[in-house]
Amino acid sequence: MKHAEQIQACTTVKKEWQADWLLKTITLIGLTTISDDDTSSNVQRLCYKAKYPIREALLKNFNTCDKGLMTTAVYVYPTGVCDAVKALKAPCCTHANWRPGQTHLKTRLEEIRLAVENGVMEIDVVINRTLVLTGQQEGSDFIKTSTVKETVNATFPVAIVMLWAIRDFFWKTGNKAGFTPTGGIRSAKYSLACLSSVKEELGDEWMTPELFPIGASTLVSDIERQIYHHVTGR
């Protein structure tokens, strides 16, 4: 814990580079809504924000954004997939075996089949943690800090330990597992610490949406506030 806190304290991005790093963060975000009261209009608004995360007037101040800027994905409940696909005019992402990870395999496979049928491009399948606790795990494409609804989610010490595990796994096997921080990620400052840590611990190869997607629902708003401050000084 203490070592992780020391890393967080030392992990900073120079002021002149912060805006570019924040814009990079936008391209890694899987914009998420997994509220029990999600409606079609909620999903549609989320998709609009995913397509236009930062106001155009602000983006004009950055040469790197002349082709537009979008989040990497939209994550919704399976029941919101059709609404998201319609709003995005593109595939979206969802999950299966949510949240305890204790459903039968046949149920999980049916969830996955329906999701793909409805236009999903990526599915987060929650593992049965009993298998891990009894030493029966067989690897995964990426590991996630939480399923969002836990009391403790994406704390920095947890993130550092997971990055070390991914690094050790890569050294031993040559296989790259992705890392997804999610759950309670609301501040631009914290997201910059995550980016710096991934770059430091795993390298530039992991700085992609495929290996480093960030699950968040309100982070975009804080990033936009920081970009506004960078541009206007207010």
Other beta carbons within 10 angstroms of residue 9's beta carbon come to 10
Q: What does the domain layout of the chain look like in residue ranges?
A: 2-232
Supply the pLDDT for residue 136.
82
CA–CA separation, 181 and 158 (whole Å): 9
Give residue 168's pLDDT: 94
* pLDDT at site 182: 87
Q: Residue 148: its pLDDT value, please? A: 64
What are the tokens at 127? Answer: 């593992």
> 92-96 and 120-125 as β-strands: parallel, antiparallel, unpaired?
parallel
Cis previous bond, 99, omega within 30: yes
Query: Can you give the pLDDT of all 234 residues of the chain as single tens digits?
Result: 556 666 666 656 667 788 999 999 999 999 998 888 889 999 999 999 999 999 988 998 887 665 679 999 999 999 999 999 999 988 899 988 877 778 888 999 999 999 999 999 989 888 887 887 888 877 778 888 876 666 666 788 888 999 999 999 999 999 999 999 988 788 998 899 889 899 999 999 999 999 999 999 999 999 999 999 999 988
Largest CA distance in the chain: 55
pLDDT given for residue 113 in this prediction: 94
Identify the DSSP state of 202: T
**Class of CATH domain 2-232:** alpha beta
Reported residue count of the chain is 234
DSSP state of 127: P
